[in-house]
Amino acid sequence: MNHGLTVELSLQAPREVRHSLEARYAGSIERSLLDDVTLLASEMVTNAVQHSGRPDGDLLTFESSVVDGVLRVEITDEGRGVPRLEPRAIAPPSGLGYLEILSDRWSSHLNHSFHVWFEIDVASRMTVYRRVVAA
Amino acid sequence: MMEALGTSIKTETHGDVTVVGLAGEHDVTSAGAVREQLGTVAASGGGLVVSLMETTFFDSSIVHALFDADRQLQEADRRLVLHVATAPIVRRVLEVSMLADAVPCIGSLSEAVEVAGRRGGTA
């Protein structure tokens, strides 16, 4: 269940990525999981658009996969400004703070390009979901 | 007021309460217009209901505009009220952003308008 997309940096990029995720995964993965992935991906792309320091039209790469029960999303841009993202511990949480709440793990690194990724353990979440539904 | 790709900001008045309806997807593309509209209503001295009934998505930029509007309203002894019974992803954003804990979320528009019209808290 791999998926890849290259979009131009612009204010429309988050919407493009959301719609692409919907087209690729609707009906394939559980709705609440897709909603979380869509929200997180949208926030990450928005962060790249607003803070990468790159001009509109620069390219951003979006990749997602589901392998061995782990759904992984990685976004790459050509920004050089921040070595590593650190969400501020504030309330209400920022968009990046949502990563802390909704993903099982996430990180970012600068390696020629800037990469930020998150993972959600699909299998364990589905087990919890089924238990709640059955209860 | 604003219409792009199924996204709109609609306003209607109920006495001294303004209902701002956010239809479609709202994110950084509409955050400036949403913030401006909410700020104008909050500064008018009347009550404010934001209806998310027709919202299909909203992100943290809209969440922050809503929190800021609530802070502005509190200075005038009022509270922001959300009119909700919405798409699951919208409920998820309300939950994860803590907005659902911070402001009244009401499923009935008439009740939401009534609560928004009160001064001195929402009780």
Q: How far is CA A88 from CA A61, A100, A103, B50, in A?
A: 25, 11, 16, 27
Write down the pLDDT at residue A135. Answer: 45
Tell me, what CATH number does A102's domain have?
3.30.565.10
CA A33 – CA A55 distance, rounded (Å): 32
Instruction: Quote the pTM value.
Output: 0.89
> What CATH class does B2-117 carry?
alpha beta
Residues of chain A above pLDDT 90, percent: 57
CA A131 – CA B1 distance, rounded (Å): 45
Among all chains, which residue has been given the structure tokens 């401006």? B36
Number of domains in chain A: 1
Q: What is the pLDDT of residues A37-78, one digit of tens each?
A: 999 999 999 999 988 888 888 999 999 999 999 999 999 998
Q: Which residues of B touch A (CB under 8 A)?
A: 5, 25, 27-29, 57, 59-61, 63-64, 67, 88-89, 92-93, 96-99, 102
- Which pair of structure tokens corresponds to residue A44? 């990450």
Q: Is A132 among the domain residues?
A: no
Write down the pLDDT at residue A6. Answer: 94
CB atoms within 10 A of CB B17: 21
Please indicate if any CB of chain B lies within 8 Å of the CB of A31. yes
CA B14 – CA B31 distance, rounded (Å): 24
CA A130 – CA B14 distance, rounded (Å): 44
Q: Is A69 among the domain residues?
A: yes
